[in-house]
A and B are shown apart, each in its own frame.
Chain A
């Protein structure tokens, strides 16, 4: 016999003039291995067809089901109700544009950040379609892939106190993205180039090290470490010209990659 779940959901439809944000309680019987995805779908099918929320892959891959679950951003499809108390509260992710109820538009945010930071490989090499793809060390490829696993769910941004206070803060996901290109030997951008886009209070220097991003990322990306690496590199970049040469050599980040640039 499953528990009786009480699920409080924030309801609001921005398109409806008469709609005011409010919490609505739903009741549902839990069964084994029920996820929030299953629970919400059941609510919509059996209790309220107007309930809005997003799902796509249902397997923690697409990043569309991010929502605030009992106060913390997480993926609804990978959250089992048995790991939650019988009283569950759901809010939409803050910061992103609300579409309705639990559904938010993360796409526009990520696209605009991606365009602004130019999150693609910047190469000066002439493209030769007949050439064999350049080889990459296995270790490096894995390192890059580790950072590439971000599914752009927006949880880290929604969990970040800085992002909540400062609308223009780029968030851990974007800095992680840049770290990924910084690692990639095919990208010709230098520390100066990176400094120009994220060497400011909207980027690395805005982060206050609250580590909420690290703690909520459902894909467990190494956000804390990447933020540290990028901040150190870019802070060094800003004083490179005023530190004495012998110190400068000692302080250069020791990353093989920087040598090649």
Chain B
């Protein structure tokens, strides 16, 4: 019959799908890592000894030496995969910006937030991981020293950007892959903001705590 497609056709390329999945998977992995990381560093709130104990475990198992670089690589991969969606040309950016302004549509704005925080996080995390790797082993005192020596602004910026990027990103993956449906969207919007608030609040308390550690 004319106009029919043979069932024997094979997909010519699987690249697009794999790239998209890889972007989602690397993003989710980074988000999970970041949340664990927040809990780990946040343990200092209860006591620096707990943080140092956990750090010691990470050290003797070589996890800190291995995980740092791996996370950096995953982040680089995630960045490179996602950059194809970014408004790379100025024209695209301004079209999108005008569009968001006119539409007054929250999710559209959030995408701009996502694109901007992506760049900030990428730069700041690189600097963060670099200094950590140069100053191993990890300890509450080393972190406290950094916070007290003028890195607080750096970490506050990083904290907020990561919180937003992670929360919005997870929400977006949920939507894109159909886990967040129209019927439960409003619930997940709330959960997303709660997660971001929790992450940022935990981070702020952690930073404050570092200021009260004698070094």
Whether B149 is near chain A, meaning CB under 8 Å from some CB there, is no
Whole-angstrom CA separation of A94 from B102 in the bound complex: 12
Q: Is the CB of B4 within 8 A of A124?
A: yes
Contact of A71 among B84, B104, B173 (CB under 8 A): B104
Q: Is the CB of B105 within 8 A of A195?
A: no
Q: Is the CB of A205 within 8 A of B16?
A: yes
B54-93 with Cβ < 8 A to chain A: 84-85, 87, 92
- The segment out of B121-129, B137-145, B151-159, B178-186 that lies at the interface is B178-186
Whether A148 is near chain B, meaning CB under 8 Å from some CB there, is no
Q: Is the CB of A165 within 8 A of B177?
A: no
Whole-angstrom CA separation of A195 from B16 in the bound complex: 10
Q: Is the CB of B17 within 8 A of A164?
A: no
Q: Is the CB of A71 within 8 A of B1?
A: no
Chain A 136-172 per-residue mask, 1 if CB under 8 angstroms from chain B, else 0:
0000000000000000000000010100111000000
Whole-angstrom CA separation of A200 from B84 in the bound complex: 12
Contact of A235 among B20, B92, B105, B110 (CB under 8 A): B20
Whether B190 is near chain A, meaning CB under 8 Å from some CB there, is no
- The segment out of B5-13, B43-51, B200-208 that lies at the interface is B5-13
Q: Is the CB of B1 within 8 A of A124?
A: yes
Provided the pairs A209-B172, A235-B177 are in contact, do residues A165 and B96 lie with their beta carbons within 8 angstroms? Answer: yes
Whether B111 is near chain A, meaning CB under 8 Å from some CB there, is yes
Which chain B residues lie closer than 8 Å to A237 at the CB level?
Answer: 11, 14, 17
A83-133 with Cβ < 8 A to chain B: 94, 118, 120, 122-127
Chain A contact patch, size range: 35 or more
Q: Which residue of A lies closest to B84 (CB)?
A: A201
Determine which residue in A94, A123, A228 has the highest number of CB atoms from chain B within 10 A of its CB, and name it: A228
Q: Is the CB of A68 within 8 A of B7?
A: no
Provided the pairs A72-B103, A124-B1, A161-B96 are in contact, do residues A222 and B176 lie with their beta carbons within 8 angstroms? Answer: no
Q: List 11 A-B contacts (CB under 8 A).
A: A72-B102, A120-B3, A123-B4, A127-B1, A159-B103, A159-B105, A207-B176, A209-B172, A215-B105, A238-B11, A239-B17
Given contact pairs A118-B5, A124-B4, A196-B12, a sample of 16 additional A-B residue pairs in the complex whose CB atoms are under 8 Å apart: A124-B7, A188-B7, A193-B7, A193-B9, A205-B16, A208-B85, A215-B107, A222-B182, A225-B182, A227-B176, A228-B177, A231-B178, A232-B177, A237-B17, A239-B14, A261-B7
Question: Contact residues of A with B, CB < 8 Å?
Answer: 68, 71-72, 94, 118, 120, 122-127, 159, 161, 164-166, 188-190, 192-193, 195-196, 199-201, 205, 207-212, 214-215, 222, 224-225, 227-229, 231-232, 234-239, 241, 261
The 5 closest A-B pairs by CB, nearest first: A228-B178, A238-B17, A238-B14, A71-B102, A209-B175
